[in-house]
Amino acid sequence: MSLHDLAVTPTPTPAPGGLRFSARVADGYTIATLRGDLDVACTPVLREQLLAVLKPGASRLIVDLSKVSFCDASGLAVLVSTGRRATLLGGTLRLVAPSPAVAVALRLSGLLRQFDIFPTVMAAATPHRMAKRVPAASAQAVPRGEAAIARPAAVWSGVTNGPDAPAANDLREAVAAVLAHADAWRDADPKRRFTSSLGALARAQADGDHTGLARACRSLVAVLNQFPLVYSPTVAATARDLRRLVGSSQGRPVRT
């Protein structure tokens, strides 16, 4: 397969939050490329985009995740449901080159071995009978969930990396927005996995405890990375603002 063999399909409208989706067809596979943040804000549109390219007789899907800058459990849930749909249609879903952010989310969620993961699009489009078990850095296919996402230990320690801790005022404003919509958060969390973290946020905010507030925010973001939420525009917006503040400062103090 060469790039000249690829037939390009129209690019759908970007999902909310800036995730961009494009798709092309090659050798019987639909190859979807995602760029940007794969999180709760984009999941409804992304689900429709992925399901739209899955059809009887065209159900072999490859998703290139190398350009994804962030991924939470809601984004992974879309991939899981897409994989199930592909299987029902007699096809398959293969993931390519998960970025460090996606690798972290897969590892934390326990979904690592539920997907076929390959280091390159070329490898993913190679029939299994021709694939060889070789290191992830090569261009050959890698068995389910194996070394295609091997990363240095430092990558696993946080969702993203950044030099600066969030300013206290910015953090308080983001937390206030979350707490102002606590009912929406509860509705989006039927299993109440976020209840403890939301309570800790409220207490730290009321006490003016900046260190406790940062700790509670990191706890909430950590849970968000592991468990999907039912989509809500309000929750998606407030979760994104909070994650952007603390997701790049895991373990760092809040500036006052």
- Is pLDDT at 146 greater than 80 in this prediction? no
Give every CB contact of residue 213 below 8 A, 6+ residues apart in sequence.
Answer: 168, 171, 172, 175, 201, 204, 205, 254
Max mean pLDDT range (90-94, 162-166, 176-180): 90-94
In tens, the pLDDT along 60-70 reads 999 999 999 88
Of the candidates 238, 222, 233, the one whose C-alpha atom is nearest the C-alpha of residue 177 is 238
The reported pTM is 0.66
Residue 256 confidence (pLDDT) above 70: no
Q: List, for residues 73-116, the tens digit of each pLDDT value.
A: 888 989 999 999 999 999 999 999 999 889 888 887 788 888 89
Query: Which pLDDT belongs to residue 111?
Result: 84
**CA gap 21, 61 in Å, rounded:** 14
Q: How far is CA 74 from CA 124, 192, 202, 225, in A?
A: 24, 15, 24, 8
Per-residue model confidence as pLDDT tens digits over 125-135: 887 544 433 33
CATH 3.30.750.24 fits 3-154, yes or no: yes
